[in-house]
């Protein structure tokens, strides 16, 4: 179990706005990710989940953290210098696994060189050294690449999508990060490879004691593999709950509706209840709950009352003002 | 025993590439498949397994180069011009990507009406317009302005438009090639509901291609599991998906959340 119980990452009322025009896209996200915790962020397309995470971790140049505080390992970054400070951590203490393994690897560089480059940048190992080579081959073996010493000399296009994503994970693990961010790491892959990759991320993180933030639109995937899940909808942070409680405890109406509309192993056609209407995009700056117009429980005041924020940084949170899932 | 609507016997398809070296790739080999009237038949498999090639052969968007394909008992290769026209209105397809499958320069009215112009020359323009409104209502887009263009609609709405276009000529067989996979989860459930309603109201026969085994379990009567251009397992959906006999099917099921 964790040696220290202060969270590795804490977000306090973090908002993200576009650099140009300053339109606020995601607002008021308060959550913390513990050491060794696997944290999932779920949301439909346009909910702001990718924009939010990329901006918070300094990967986005068009958007900035416009409010709130980001605290990593006890060090609070003020909004002003957040971007530069985060950039310093990226690739060292924070590793990022992008969506698409076809465009994230350099096609003209051997797999081995891409890993030793990461080893040099993160840990200062000389790229041509025996030590770097051995470490790279070890990490390739760790992610399940067959014949890692041959793979070391191959180019990315000699691998399938699933294998490439493993190589990307190897590069990230080589940096020995404390926090792993994975943005839909399986959407570009075949359905049958998806589970292997997610399982690999989970298993490696558990073994190495990493914290993980996994972004996905697949609630069922997150429910089965993560510890806790945060829900974004139209740029609002609606819900935060223990993954294994989803089927047993009351959650935010949106989370419940999302859960009720995915076909799973033990559901029949009658169990599938579509959510009426279309998901609203992020960035409309609504005061009230943006899910109100699709919600079965909505009352008049839902649209007008400002959305509650997880101020106390609790482990469980529901932004529903009529008390659902709180 | 009802007469099968689609019978594929030993159907094969090879694609030739003459880029530098002449190569042939076997997209399908020796595929046997039967679709009975009123059945919902699922075709499952990973990408590259040949499931879309089967869809394209069933709709005659591609010609098979081995085996026989009989539609309602008649070999499709021997069709006369009139028979081919009838076939094309009997069999309709809904594609995966509602962004790529609707002509961006045509209004929704014209997209849905086009097949009526071709297959129902007996209708007057006003009758065609009535039919279009009726279809839009049926797919849940009633009251929408149909003189707008596809880009003005969301992904889910576009897929509904594509379904309306396919349903316009009252097809007997609807082939759906991954119709849900480019949609958001909450929209997927809406479109799934639309499909079940259409099946119920129109006695549709359907070939439903998907990689989502959970959707197949909900919707399909029978399934075919494909791997590398071959059918590796087939049978009643419930049996195949709850008690797979082939290792490959079992491995697919294991990967499902």
What stretches of chain A adopt beta strand conformation (E)? 9-18, 24-33, 38-42, 63-72, 75-77, 94-97, 179-183, 211-216, 228-233, 236-242, 317-318
Q: Do A190 and B256 touch (CB under 8 A)?
A: no
Mean pLDDT, all residues of chain A: 91
What pLDDT is recorded for position A193?
87
Of A191, A217, A267, the CB nearest to B255: A191
pLDDT at A2: 42
Quote the CA–CA distance of A285 and A48 in Å, as a whole number.
13
Q: Looking at per-residue confidence, does A242 or B48 come out higher?
A: A242
Interchain proximity A195–B257, CB inside 8 Å: yes
The answer to whether the CB atoms of B185 and A268 lie below 8 A apart is: no
Mean pLDDT in residue range A278-292: 84
pLDDT at B134: 94
Phi and psi torsions of B190, nearest 5°: -65, -45
| B173-191 pLDDT tens trace | 999 999 998 888 889 999 9
Q: Name the residue in chain B with its Cα closest to that of A192.
A: B255
Pairing of strands A9-18, B173-177: unpaired
A-B Cβ pairs (cutoff 8 Å, strict): 81
Q: What sign has the CA pseudo-torsion A120, A123, A124, A129? A: negative
Rounded distance between C-alpha atoms, residue B15 and residue B45, angstroms: 19
User: Could you tell me the pLDDT band of residue B27, with boundaries at 50, 70 and 90?
Assistant: confident
Instruction: Tell me the pLDDT tens digit for each residue of B37-84.
Output: 999 999 999 888 999 999 999 999 999 999 999 999 999 999 999 999
List the structure tokens of B140: 């849940």
**Is A262's CB within 8 Å of B192's CB?**
no
Digit-coded pLDDT (tens) for A306-321: 888 887 778 889 999 8
Could you tell me which residues come within 8 angstroms of residue B226 by beta carbon, excluding any fewer than 6 positions away?
B31, B43, B44, B45, B49, B50, B51, B54, B232
Note the ipTM here.
0.83
The answer to which of A51-65, B15-29, B77-91, B173-187 has the lowest mean pLDDT is: B15-29
Q: Given a cut of 90, is residue A99 above it in pLDDT?
A: no
B17 — pLDDT class (breaks 50, 70, 90): confident
A279 touches chain B (CB under 8 A): yes
Q: At residue A9, does pLDDT exceed 50?
A: yes
Give all strands (DSSP E) within A145-255, no chain letters: 179-183, 211-216, 228-233, 236-242
- Asked if B218 and A269 come within 8 Å (Cβ–Cβ), the reply is yes
| pLDDT exceeds 50 at position B11 | yes
Candidate from A115-124, A250-259, A313-322, B6-15 with smallest mean pLDDT: A313-322
Establish if A116 touches chain B: CB-CB under 8 angstroms. no
What's the pLDDT score for residue B1?
A: 52
Q: Is the CB of A263 less than 8 angstroms away from the CB of B255? A: no
pLDDT per residue over B105-147, tens digit each? 999 999 999 999 999 999 999 999 999 999 999 999 988 889 9
pLDDT computed for residue A1 by the predictor: 42
CB B254 within 8 A of CB B74: no
Q: For the beta carbon of residue A160, count every other beta carbon within 10 angstroms.
A: 12
The predicted structure's pLDDT at residue A112: 96
Cβ <8 Å between B185 and A221:
no
B45 contact residues in A (CB cutoff 8 A): none
- Return d(Cα B88, Cα B86) in angstroms, integer: 5
In the prediction, which pLDDT does A4 show?
56
Q: Which chain B residues have a beta carbon less than 8 Å from that of A274?
A: 186, 189-190, 192-193
CA distance B7 to B63: 15
pLDDT in tens, A156-184: 999 999 999 999 999 999 999 999 999 99
Q: Provide, as residue numbers in chain A, all residues whose Cβ is less than 8 Å from the Cβ of B254.
A: 195
**pLDDT attached to residue A324:** 80
Segments of B4-112 assigned E as strands: 4-17, 23-36, 40-44, 66-71, 74-75, 91-94
Q: Please state, in angstroms and rounded to a whole number, the distance separating the CA atoms of residues B220 and A200.
A: 32
A266 CB within 8 Å of a chain B CB:
no
pLDDT at A309: 87
Interval A214-235 mean pLDDT: 94
């Amino acid at each position: 179990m964790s040696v220290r119980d202060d969270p590795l990452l804490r977000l306090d009322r973090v908002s993200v706005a576009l650099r140009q025009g300053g339109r606020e896209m995601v607002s008021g996200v308060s959550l913390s990710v513990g050491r060794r915790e696997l944290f999932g962020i779920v949301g439909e397309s346009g909910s702001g989940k990718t924009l939010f995470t990329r901006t918070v971790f300094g990967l986005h140049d068009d958007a900035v953290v416009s409010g709130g505080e980001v605290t990593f390992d006890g060090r609070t970054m003020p909004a002003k210098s957040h971007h530069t400070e985060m950039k310093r951590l990226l690739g060292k203490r924070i590793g990022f696994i992008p969506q698409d393994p076809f465009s994230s690897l350099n096609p003209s560089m051997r797999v081995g060189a891409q890993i030793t480059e990461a080893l040099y940048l993160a840990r200062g190992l000389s790229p041509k050294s025996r030590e770097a080579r051995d470490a790279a081959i070890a990490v390739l073996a760790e992610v399940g690449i067959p014949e890692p010493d041959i793979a070391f000399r191959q180019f990315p296009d000699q691998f399938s999508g699933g294998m490439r994503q493993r190589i990307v994970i190897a590069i990230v693990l080589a940096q020995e990060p404390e926090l792993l961010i994975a943005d839909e790491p399986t959407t570009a892959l075949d359905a049958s490879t998806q589970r292997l990759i997610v399982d690999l991320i989970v298993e490696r993180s558990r073994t190495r004691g990493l914290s993980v933030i996994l972004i996905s639109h697949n609630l069922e995937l997150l429910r089965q593999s993560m510890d806790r899940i945060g829900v974004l909808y139209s740029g609002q942070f609606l819900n935060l709950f223990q993954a294994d409680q989803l089927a047993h405890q009351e959650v935010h109406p949106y989370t419940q509706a999302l859960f009720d509309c995915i076909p799973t192993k033990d559901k029949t056609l009658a169990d599938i209840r579509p959510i009426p209407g279309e998901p609203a995009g992020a960035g409309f700056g609504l005061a009230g709950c943006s899910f109100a117009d699709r919600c079965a429980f909505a009352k008049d005041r839902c649209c007008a009352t400002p959305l509650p924020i997880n101020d106390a940084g609790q482990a469980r949170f529901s932004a529903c003002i009529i008390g659902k899932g709180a | 025993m009802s007469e099968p609507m689609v019978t594929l016997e030993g159907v094969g398809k090879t694609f030739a590439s003459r880029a530098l070296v002449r190569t042939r790739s076997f997209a399908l080999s020796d595929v046997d498949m039967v679709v009975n009237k009123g059945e919902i038949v699922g075709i499952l498999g990973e990408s590259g397994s040949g499931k879309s090639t089967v869809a394209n052969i069933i709709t005659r968007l591609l010609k098979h180069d081995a085996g026989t394909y009989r539609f309602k008992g008649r070999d499709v290769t021997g069709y006369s011009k009139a028979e081919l026209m009838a076939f094309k209105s009997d069999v309709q397809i809904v594609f995966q990507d509602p962004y790529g499958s609707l002509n961006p320069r045509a209004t929704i009215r014209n997209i849905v009406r086009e097949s009526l112009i071709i297959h129902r020359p007996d209708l007057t323009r006003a009758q065609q317009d009535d039919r279009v409104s009726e279809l839009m209502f049926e797919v849940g887009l009633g009251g929408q302005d149909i003189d707008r263009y596809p880009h003005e609609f969301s992904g889910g709405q576009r897929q509904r438009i594509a379904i309306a276009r396919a349903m316009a000529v009252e097809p007997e067989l609807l082939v759906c090639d991954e119709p849900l996979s480019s949609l958001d989860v909450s929209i997927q459930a809406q479109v799934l509901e639309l499909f079940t309603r259409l099946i119920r109201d129109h006695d549709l026969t359907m070939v439903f291609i998907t990689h989502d085994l959970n959707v197949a379990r909900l919707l399909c009567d029978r399934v075919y599991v494909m791997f590398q251009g071959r059918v590796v397992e087939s049978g009643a959906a419930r049996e195949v998906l709850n008690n797979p006999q082939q290792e490959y099917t079992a491995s697919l099921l294991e990967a499902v959340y």
